């Protein structure tokens, strides 16, 4: 089955002004954008409403992690904001993930997509063992969390593009993989450790790639975005 791939631009800006200045460069297309904690905490829900009003799809990357009742009620608020994708930490457990789905589901049965962060990519095997006292191979933990998310009714996970194939094997092809850590073959890697090109992410089977600085810091962001679309989504 041909996949419905898309490129999500990580709008990691500190203010609404910088964000709108960036988005105003796009006159012919309306990219899917990711709003993270920094922008949301500095500008509040109004930034979501405004970007939505401008016609963009929104992945609101707030990574909820709390008791089920609190997550249920918070997800209801995000659902009313009409975002397209939101997320939580699978480490919050199955009951929390089920509560999140309940909170997100509107009276008419529709809801934003919900995806889970499995294990943060800043946690490696040693940190997991020493800080979290989890003594299993990291790859197994990631796959177990992905399966928990699927069984709780979630739509997918955020993961490395290098893990996307394995996640699809374990959770099915319809389970979404949303993958950051993307760089052009001729681009700077920056602080990302394990990176993949848009073309390779397509081969491995990512459903969405999340691209920040290769687009936001490019001399010509619109050209860089189109290059991502061409390599990944066409
Ligand atoms: O600028 P860059 O392309 O590295 O941005 C990637 C985006 O994806 C950032 O918003 C970053 O916080 C996010 N992200 C990531 N790695 C993860 C999860 C999220 O880079 N494991």
pLDDT digits (tens, 9 = 90+) for 31-88: 999 999 999 999 999 999 999 999 999 999 999 999 999 999 999 999 999 999 999 9
Which residue in 3, 52, 57, 63 is the catalytic one? Answer: 63
Confidence of residue 92 (pLDDT cuts 50, 70, 90): very high
CB 125 near ligand 1, within 6 Å: no
CB 33 near ligand 1, within 6 Å: no
Q: Residue 2: what pLDDT?
A: 55
CA distance linking residue 31 with residue 60, whole number of Å:
14
pLDDT surpassing 70 at residue 1:
no
CA distance linking residue 62 with residue 52, whole number of Å:
17
φ/ψ bin of 181: left (φ > 0), alpha (ψ from -120 to 50), beta (otherwise): left
**Residue-wise pLDDT tens digits, 9-18:** 999 999 999 9
**Which atom from ligand 1 is nearest to the alpha carbon of 192?**
4
**Which atom from ligand 1 is nearest to the alpha carbon of 216?**
1
Q: 86 with 78: CB under 8 angstroms?
A: yes
**Residue-wise pLDDT tens digits, 136-159:** 999 999 999 999 999 999 999 999
End-to-end CA distance of the chain: 15
Q: Residue 192: what pLDDT?
A: 72
Q: Residue 120: what pLDDT?
A: 87
Residues recorded for the chain: 234
Query: Active site includes 150?
Result: no
Rounded to the nearest angstrom, the distance between the alpha carbon of 9 and the centre of ligand 1 is 10
pTM given for the model: 0.95
Q: 126 with 86: CB under 8 angstroms?
A: no
**Residue corresponding to tokens 């990219």:** 31
**Which atom from ligand 1 is nearest to the alpha carbon of 34?**
10
Percent of the chain with pLDDT over 70: 99
CB 105 near ligand 1, within 6 Å: no
pLDDT greater at residue 199 or residue 189: 199
Rounded to the nearest angstrom, the distance between the alpha carbon of 107 and the centre of ligand 1 is 33
């Amino acid at each position: 089955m041909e996949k419905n791939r898309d490129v999500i631009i990580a709008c990691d800006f500190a203010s609404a002004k910088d964000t709108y200045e960036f988005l105003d460069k796009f006159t012919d297309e309306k990219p899917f954008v990711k709003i993270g904690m920094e922008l949301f905490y500095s500008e509040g829900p109004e930034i979501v409403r405004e970007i939505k009003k401008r016609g963009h799809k929104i992945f609101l990357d707030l990574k909820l992690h709390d008791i089920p009742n609190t997550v249920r009620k918070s997800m209801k608020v995000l659902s009313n904001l009409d975002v397209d994708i939101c997320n939580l930490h699978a480490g919050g457990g199955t009951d929390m993930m089920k509560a999140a789905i309940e909170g997100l589901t509107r009276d008419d049965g529709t809801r934003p997509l919900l995806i889970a962060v499995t294990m943060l990519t800043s946690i490696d095997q040693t940190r997991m063992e020493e800080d979290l006292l989890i003594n299993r191979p990291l790859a197994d933990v990631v796959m177990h969390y992905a399966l928990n998310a699927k069984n709780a009714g979630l739509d997918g996970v955020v993961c490395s593009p290098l893990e996307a194939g394995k996640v699809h094997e374990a959770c099915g092809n319809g389970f979404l993989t949303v993958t950051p850590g993307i760089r052009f073959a001729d681009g700077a890697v920056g602080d990302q450790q394990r990176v993949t090109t848009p073309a390779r992410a397509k081969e491995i089977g990512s459903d969405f790639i999340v691209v920040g600085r290769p687009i936001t810091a490019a001399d010509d962001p619109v050209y860089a975005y189109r290059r991502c679309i061409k390599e990944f989504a066409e």
